Chains A and B, each alone.
Chain A
Amino acid sequence: MNAIEVTGLTKRFGQKLVVNNVSLKVKSGEIVGFLGPNGSGKTTSIRMMCGLLKPDNGHGQVLGYDLIKDRLRIKSQVGYMTQKFSFYEDLTIEENLSFVARLYNLAPIKKHTTETLEKLGLLSRRKQLAGELSGGWKQRLALAACTMHKPKLLLLDEPTAGVDPKARRDFWEEIHRLAADGMTVLVSTHYMDEAERCHRITYISYGNLLADGSLHDVIASAGLHTYTLTGPDLEGFIPALQADDGVQQIAPFGNALHVTGTDPQALKRALKPLEQHNDIRIEQAETNLEDVFIKFMSDSTDNMQ
Chain B
Amino acid sequence: MSSVFSLQRLFAMLIKEFIQMRRDRITFAMMLGIPLIQLVLFGYAINNDPRGLPTALVALANDPYSRAAITALENSQYFKFTATGLSPSEARTLMRKGDVTFVVTIPSDFAKQAEAGRPNALIEADATDPAASGAAVASAPVIIERAVASVKEKNPSLKQDLLRSSTIIHRKYNPEGITQYNIVPGLLGVILQLTLVMMTSISLTRETERGTMENLLAMPASPFEIMCGKVLPYLVVGAVQVAVVLTAGRILFHIPFQGDLTLLIGAILVFVVALILLGYFISTIARTQMQAMQMTFFFFLPSLLLSGFMFPYAGMPGWAQELGEIFPLTHFLRVVRAVMLKGADWSEVSSSVYALFVFVGVLLILALKRFKRTLD
Report the minimum CB–CB distance from A223 to chain B (whole Å): 39
Give chain A's interface secondary structure class.
loop
Residues of A within 8 A of B210 (CB): 86, 89
Q: What is the chain A residue whose CB lies nearest that of B3?
A: A72
Q: Are A82's CB and B20's CB within 8 A?
A: no
What's the minimum C-beta distance from B281 to chain A, rounded to whole angstroms?
22
- Tell yes or no: A191 within 8 A of B by CB: no
Do A87 and B12 touch (CB < 8 A)? Answer: no
Report the separation of the CA atoms of residues A99 and B13 in the bound assembly, to the nearest whole angstrom. 8
**Any A CB within 8 A of the CB of B214:** yes
Is chain B's binding surface mostly helix, strand, loop or mixed? helix
- Asked, given contacts A75-B218, A80-B218, whether A90 binds B15 with beta carbons under 8 Å apart, the answer is no
CB distance from B251 to the nearest CB of A (A): 35
Q: Are B220 and A102 in contact (CB under 8 A)?
A: no
Find out whether the CB atom of A105 lies under 8 angstroms from the CB atom of B9: yes
Set B1, B6, B15, B217: member contacting A99, Cβ < 8 A? B15
- In this assembly, does A76 line the interface, its C-beta being within 8 Å of a C-beta of chain B? yes
* Complex interface residues of chain A between 51 and 102 (CB less than 8 A to chain B): 51-54, 72-73, 75-76, 78, 80, 82, 84-91, 95, 98-100, 102
A86 pairs with B214, CB closer than 8 A? yes
When distances are taken between beta carbons in the complex, the residues of chain B under 8 Å from A76 are 1, 220
Quick check: is B8 within 8 A (CB to CB) of the other chain?
Answer: yes
The interface residues of chain A lying within 8 Å CB-to-CB of B376 are 53-54
**Contact A82 B211, CB 8 Å, known A88-B20, A102-B9:** yes
B6 touches A105 (CB 8 A): yes
- A85 and B215 alpha carbons, distance in the complex (Å): 9
Enumerate chain B residues within 8 angstroms of A73, measured Cβ to Cβ.
3
Total A-B residue contacts, Cβ distance less than 8 Å: 71
Output the nearest chain A residue to B24 by Cβ-Cβ distance: A90
Task: Decide if A243 is an interface residue (CB 8 Å cutoff).
Answer: no
A126 to B375, CA, bound (A): 32
- How far does the Cβ of B289 sit from chain A's closest Cβ, in whole Å? 14
Across the interface, do A104 and B212 meet the contact criterion of CB distance under 8 Å? Answer: no
Cβ B220 vs Cβ A50 within 8 A? no
**Cβ of B299 < 8 Å from any Cβ of A?**
no
Residue from the list A50, A82, A89, A91 in contact with B16, Cβ < 8 A: A91
A103 in contact (CB, < 8 A): yes
Number of interface residues of B (CB under 8 A): 27
Min CB–CB distance B374 → chain A (angstroms): 11
Q: Which residues of A contact B168 (CB under 8 A)?
A: none
Taking CB atoms, residues of chain A closer than 8 Å to B16 are: 88, 91, 95, 99
What's the Cα separation between A50 and B212 when bound, in Å?
Answer: 16
Q: Contact: A91 with B19, CB < 8 Å?
A: yes
Given contacts A88-B16, A91-B19, A91-B20, contact A72 B220 (CB under 8 A): yes
Is B311 interfacial (CB-CB < 8 Å)? Answer: no
- Given contacts A72-B220, A99-B15, A103-B9, are A86 and B215 in contact (CB under 8 A)? yes
Complex CA gap A90/B9 in Å reads 20
Interface 1/0 per residue, B29-51 and A, CB below 8 Å: 00000000000000000000000
A103, B220: Cβ atoms closer than 8 Å: yes
Assess A102 versus B8: contact at CB under 8 Å? Given A53-B375, A76-B220.
yes
Question: Which residues in B have some Cβ–Cβ distance to A below 8 Å?
Answer: 1, 3, 6, 8-9, 11-13, 15-16, 19-20, 23-24, 210-212, 214-215, 217-222, 375-376
- Subset of 12 A-B contacts with CB under 8 Å: A50-B218, A51-B218, A52-B214, A54-B375, A72-B222, A82-B214, A88-B16, A90-B23, A99-B12, A99-B16, A102-B15, A103-B219
Q: 8 closest A-B pairs (Cβ-Cβ)?
A: A102-B12, A86-B215, A80-B218, A86-B211, A72-B3, A76-B220, A84-B211, A103-B12
A50-B218, A86-B210 known, 11 other contacts, Cβ within 8 Å: A47-B214, A52-B214, A52-B375, A76-B220, A80-B218, A86-B212, A87-B215, A99-B16, A102-B12, A103-B221, A105-B8
